[in-house]
Amino acid sequence: MAKKLSYSAPGRICLYGEHQDYLKLTVIPAAINLRTTIIVEKNNTNEIKIESIDLELVDSFKITDDLSLVKNEFDYIRAIIMVLFKEGLVKEISGFNVRISSQVPIGSGLSSSAAILVSWLTALNDQLKLELNRIEIADLCFIAENKILGINCGIMDQYSSSLGGIFSLDCDGPPHKIQRFTTNLDGLVIGDSCVRRSANEPLTLLRNQITSGFEKIQKQGDFKLRSLASDTLTEFRDTITEDEYRRLLGVITIRNITERSSIELSKSSNQDIECLGSLLTKQHTMLRDYLGVSIPELDNLVDVSIKSGALGAKLTGAGLGGCIIALAPRREEEVAHAINNAGGKATICKIDYEGAKKEQPFAIFI
């Protein structure tokens, strides 16, 4: 007789600070009310048997301390097991039946990867009594995604999914400075372009261009990306390629936008919501024109959202596909309608304040 228990973790949007986390700058993500749920049940074997309800796929593997990836959809499940052994957190793991279902669309910039990693590690944390806190869960999921699965991501997605809510996260650490905001930020609408892509492509391209440009500038003085001014960057324009210049200007402008929005979000009253909206759109312009990670489908969804009453909008996630997010307090329905009419798929969403969690036990015995 095995008891089935359910655990879940949210997807996220990135409001401010796109392409800043892997550069150790500050990001402002918000967890959203779309979740990935994992139901686990001990199966008295030494195997993990997995079923994805959405993908209609199954898989299984033996649990060993020298597990490797097999390049399929369930490598996320393997990667967490590999991290637990590698970090010396477990000596053995018992077998489980695992059922995964998700409201977070895959490859859409809403952090479906972090939601599955975080919900699975939250499940194992409880089942194996590992006593990891939410930050430790986020850090281990980052190791799984970055070091084991080889995605050139930063720490934003794992922290957002594990902690929930809306906060600014200084990615220069550990420890990472976190400032929680209490705002409800009503009127968030997601617009899915339905163009799917692997986040690793824009992440790898940008990371290489930004790092190589910045390394050239650092040879000429002790500059920091956290404080580099655009005038200083312009002085060195001739020493870097045009692409490197544009990427770096995009990064430091988004850094400044994030600092400005953080001041606004931390106000306990009289927040300038119109300013927060226009900072979203300014950021989209930088992502489109300087970082080069937008596509016409995303630009169009941003435009129709603003024309139908949103205060601002931007793509969310790595770019080159996936979703936009619009801020449209009291105009959610109109904006959702416009997104749907433009060929996108709209979801009016709310910020999730719970983060990863164990669901109320629903006693199913077999």
Question: Can residue 18 be called a binding residue for ligand GLA (CB under 6 A)?
Answer: yes
Scanning 13-21, 176-184, 240-248, 307-315 for contacts with ligand GLA by CB under 6 A, the matching segment is 13-21
The distance of closest approach from Cβ of residue 282 to ligand GLA in the complex, given in angstroms and rounded to an integer, is: 16
Question: Can residue 153 be called a binding residue for ligand GLA (CB under 6 A)?
Answer: yes
The distance of closest approach from Cβ of residue 202 to ligand GLA in the complex, given in angstroms and rounded to an integer, is: 8
- Per-residue binding string, ligand GLA, 171-200, x by CB under 6 A, is ----------------------------x-
Give the 3-state secondary structure of residue 80.
helix
Q: Which is nearer to ligand GLA, 187 or 319 (CB)?
A: 319
| Interhelix angle 273-289/296-307, nearest 10 degrees | 160
Residues 6 or more apart in contact with residue 295 via CB below 8 angstroms: 193, 195, 319, 320, 321
Nearest to 187 by CA among 328, 16, 31: 328
Identify how many contiguous H helices and E strands the chain contains and give both numbers: 10, 12
CB 332 within 8 A of CB 189: yes
- Per-residue binding string, ligand GLA, 293-332, x by CB under 6 A, is ------------------------xx--------------
Question: Can residue 14 be called a binding residue for ligand GLA (CB under 6 A)?
Answer: yes
DSSP category for residue 355: -
Asked if omega into 175 is within 30° of 0 (cis), the reply is yes
The distance of closest approach from Cβ of residue 253 to ligand GLA in the complex, given in angstroms and rounded to an integer, is: 14
Q: Which is nearer to ligand GLA, 154 or 344 (CB)?
A: 154
CB 114 within 8 A of CB 335: no
Q: Which is nearer to ligand GLA, 19 or 78 (CB)?
A: 19
Q: In this chain, which residue has its C-beta nearest to ligand GLA?
A: 153
Residues 6 or more apart in contact with residue 99 via CB below 8 angstroms: 38, 39, 40, 50, 51, 53
What residues make contact with ligand GLA under the rule CB under 6 A? 14, 18-19, 21-22, 153-154, 156-157, 199, 203, 317-318
